């Protein structure tokens, strides 16, 4: 196998997937008090979660909005450009925005964040840049470690977006457990595809108590 012409390509691919796996696994050690504070804030909120981001971060934000909604936390995706062309009018002061930007310098995201904060919306930022504009604007900045080996040239956001997805997936799961959101409700709102055809549903999710944080309004 070592002499196969396929080997260099496969080795390069495997090294990169291994680097991405390490980046995602590193999130385990980055789940801290800030994560619990975010979960607590969303759990007690009477509004919706509004996800936003540009480029690759936008795709992750859209995915997260879908998964939050499926698992019992009402959410939607707001394209930052559309938001700056009037769609931010859908937001109310009891909503919470989660803005994604690895570098924290996306002008359209930061402009949107600035304006929704003026409307009373609390903003959570997921970024790799603690000193970047987005982290400075956010009410709760979540700063995740960059993993250069998982982002080609440290420019193309591949592993970093997987890491952000993992952090957000964990958030969706703990909120689902805290809400005791049932599989019956999931099944009802997901009548399409294989899920909608299920005759037997999983066991109920295990309950979870998320502590309150006095600083969360």
Number of domains in the chain: 1
Reading the block at residue 41, the tokens are 């804030």
Provide long-range contacts, Cβ within 8 A and 24+ apart, for 152-161: 157/55, 157/56, 157/57, 157/102, 158/20, 159/19, 159/20, 159/23, 159/24, 160/23, 160/102, 160/128, 161/56, 161/57, 161/59, 161/60, 161/102
Q: What are phi and psi of 203, to 5 degrees?
A: -65, 150
CB 105 within 8 A of CB 134: yes
CA proximity to 99, closest of 85, 114, 82: 114
pTM: 0.93
Residue where the block lists tokens 């002499």: 3
pLDDT on residue 183: 86
Confirm whether 2 is domain-assigned.
no
Is 86 among the domain residues? Answer: yes
- DSSP 3-state assignment of 53? strand
Is residue 187 within 8 Å of 196, Cβ to Cβ?
A: yes
**In the prediction, which pLDDT does 201 show?**
86
The string over 105-133, giving b where at least 16 C-beta atoms fall within 10 Å of a residue's C-beta and e elsewhere, is ebebbbebbeebeeeebbbbbbbbbeebb
For position 3, what pLDDT does the model report? Answer: 78
pLDDT tens track for 71-111: 999 999 999 999 999 999 999 999 999 999 999 999 999 99
The two tokens of residue 95 are 């909503």
Predicted local confidence at residue 2, as pLDDT: 61
Q: What angle do CA 54, 73, 96 make, to 5 degrees?
A: 55
- Within the chain, strands assigned E span 49-53, 75-77, 96-100, 122-127, 140-143
Residue 184 lies in a domain: yes
Structure token pair of residue 211: 């502590």
What is the per-residue pLDDT for 199?
Answer: 83
Q: Is residue 7 part of a domain?
A: no
Q: What is the DSSP letter of 46?
A: S
Which domain, by its residues, includes 69?
12-192
Percentage of the chain exceeding pLDDT 90: 87
Judge whether residue 1 has pLDDT over 60: no
127-183 tens-digit pLDDT: 999 999 999 999 999 999 998 999 999 899 999 999 999 999 999 999 999 999 988
Q: Does residue 206 lie in a domain region?
A: no
In a domain, 202, yes or no: no
Helix (H, G, I), strand (E, B) or coil at 121: coil
Encode pLDDT of 27-85 as tens digits. Answer: 999 999 999 999 999 999 999 999 999 999 999 999 999 999 999 999 999 999 999 99
Q: Which CATH number goes with the domain that contains 65?
A: 3.40.50.10490
Residue 103 lies in a domain: yes
Residue 199, domain member (yes or no):
no
């Amino acid at each position: 196998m070592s002499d196969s012409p396929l080997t260099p390509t496969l080795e390069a691919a495997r090294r990169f997937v291994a680097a991405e796996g390490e980046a995602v696994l590193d999130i385990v050690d980055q789940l801290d008090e800030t994560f619990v504070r975010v979960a607590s804030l969303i759990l007690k909120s009477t509004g919706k979660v509004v996800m936003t981001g540009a480029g690759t971060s936008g795709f992750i934000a859209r995915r997260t909005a879908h998964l939050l909604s499926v698992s019992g936390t009402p959410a939607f995706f707001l394209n930052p450009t559309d938001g700056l062309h009037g769609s931010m009018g859908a937001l109310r002061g009891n909503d919470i925005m989660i803005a994604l930007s690895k570098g924290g310098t996306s002008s359209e995201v930061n402009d949107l964040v600035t304006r929704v904060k003026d409307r009373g919306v609390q903003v959570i930022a997921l970024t790799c840049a603690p000193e970047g504009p987005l982290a400075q604007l956010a009410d709760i900045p979540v700063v995740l470690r960059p993993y250069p080996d998982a982002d080609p040239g440290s420019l193309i956001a591949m592993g970093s977006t997987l890491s952000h997805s993992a952090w957000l997936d964990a958030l969706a799961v703990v909120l689902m457990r805290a809400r005791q959101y049932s599989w019956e409700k999931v099944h009802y709102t997901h009548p399409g595809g294989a899920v909608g055809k299920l005759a037997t549903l999983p066991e109920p999710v295990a309950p979870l108590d998320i502590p309150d944080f006095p600083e969360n309004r």
